[in-house]
Amino acid sequence: MDEPILIDTHCHLDLEVFDADRQAVIARARSAGVGAFLVIGFAPERWRTATALAESTPGVFATVGLHPTEAARYDDELERALLQAAGNPRVRAIGEIGLDYYWDTAPREVQREVFLRQVLLAKRLGFPFIVHQRDAAGDVIAVLREAGPPHRGVMHCFTGDLAYARACLDLGMYLGVGGVVTYKRADDVREALRWAPLDRLVLETDSPYLPPVPYRGQRNEPAYLPIVADKLAMLRGVSREEVARVTTENAVRLFGLPFDLGEGTGVEITARSIEVGEL
């Protein structure tokens, strides 16, 4: 049987840094075993580029949402535009949304209000959502509790410790595992991911950001996702095939991707079972 595919649940393939070789980047990823991509539309300008890429490229899907660094732009008119963008059949989630107290480009109370509004919008639409968090872990948990768990969503680029992982999972969230798991100083992250149930993890690259070792300092791309999968497999003492099978199943179910999981709990998604053009 073919090796199960991997799914990159968070990448920015629509950014200008990929303009010169975008299709080659996608081809390299497919050759590396990455069968599907979720391109993150984090601002109105990116809603258009993310959905356009998803509409034109098999295996690519999109999200739409307002990043916390853009929170000051949010108003009723923008929310109506967001709802319209979310109606595109290639859109599979609201995001990335959340709180960012590192850049602090919008007042924190505005960030919290906009985050809450988008979580509630996602719940109303029946969509999962993708959470960005930087230097704001406690307030992210507080907003999610205020919104009324359980939630269907991903803590993008999980960088927390075991206690934070427990809090996120208790709210129903999944943890997004990316290149940070390979970093020398990420012992707390590795401890949390060694403990967390495998069926609550999804893989991501955040390309072009946060490349795994040994590519730090270079442009990240989805072809490096197997490095993340291998590191997670090593941490948990299982095969990469097991990591691929379970995390792919998680992503398919969470984001409603058009793969046939078959009956029962097993996933039957392999490179051979997915023909380019079917998605």
The binding site for a divalent metal cation comprises 10, 12, 96, 132, 156, 206
Q: Is 100 exposed, middle or buried (0-12, 13-18, 19+ CB in 10 A)?
A: buried
Residue type, 90: R
Residues 254/16, Cβ–Cβ less than 8 Å: no
Going by C-alpha positions, the residue among 206, 205, 242 that lies closest to residue 224 is: 205
Going by C-alpha positions, the residue among 86, 225, 77 that lies closest to residue 97 is: 86
Q: Which residues contribute to the annotated binding site?
A: 10, 12, 96, 132, 156, 206
Residues with Cβ within 8 Å of 222's Cβ and at least 6 positions away in sequence, in order, are 8, 11, 13, 25, 26, 28, 29, 32, 34, 37, 205, 207
The C-alpha atoms of residue 8 and residue 177 are separated, in whole angstroms, by 10
Going by C-alpha positions, the residue among 126, 49, 144, 36 that lies closest to residue 83 is: 126
Is it true that the peptide bond before 3 is cis, omega within 30 degrees of 0?
A: no
* Residue 78 three-state SS: helix
Going by C-alpha positions, the residue among 157, 112, 116 that lies closest to residue 136 is: 112
Residues 175/169, Cβ–Cβ less than 8 Å: yes
The C-alpha atoms of residue 19 and residue 221 are separated, in whole angstroms, by 13
Residues with Cβ within 8 Å of 82's Cβ and at least 6 positions away in sequence, in order, are 44, 47, 64, 65, 66, 94, 118, 121
Q: How many CB atoms lie within 10 A of CB 37?
A: 27
In this structure, what token pair is assigned to residue 61? 């899907």
